[in-house]
Amino acid sequence: MSWLILVLSGVLEAVWATALGRSEGFSKPTPTIIFFLALVVSMAGLAYAMRDLPTGTAYAVWVGIGASLTVVIAMVTGAEAASWLKVGLILTIVASVVGLKLAH
């Protein structure tokens, strides 16, 4: 259960990071509200997962999922240019996250 919560929390990290960028310094209400809600739920899920998982592993997986999805969202929406190098590096992060799960 902790792994599932951790993955969902990592997805929410990408949500709050994307909303933070779109809030334009908290001047836009809708992305600002999404940011705060996703941030609280994401952090709560990370804290829950850390009850059963080692802190280093949980944090690395959470950040890896969030960072990878944030970049993918930016590339898909056109906010950031896509390249084969970026895709390869994101896949490396994903492989590392899977490796941490398998090593646990």
Q: pLDDT tens-digit profile of 5-56? A: 999 999 999 999 999 999 999 999 999 999 999 999 999 999 999 999 999 9
pLDDT the model gives residue 26: 98
Give the burial string for 12-42 (b: 16+ CB within 10 Å, else e): bbbbbbbbbeebeeeeeeebbebbeebbeeb
Tell which residue, 75, 69, 71, has the closest CA to residue 97: 69
Q: How confident is the model at residue 87 (pLDDT cuts 50, 70, 90)?
A: very high
Average pLDDT over all residues of the chain: 96
What are the Cα distances from residue 73, in Å, to 6, 43, 88? 19, 20, 15
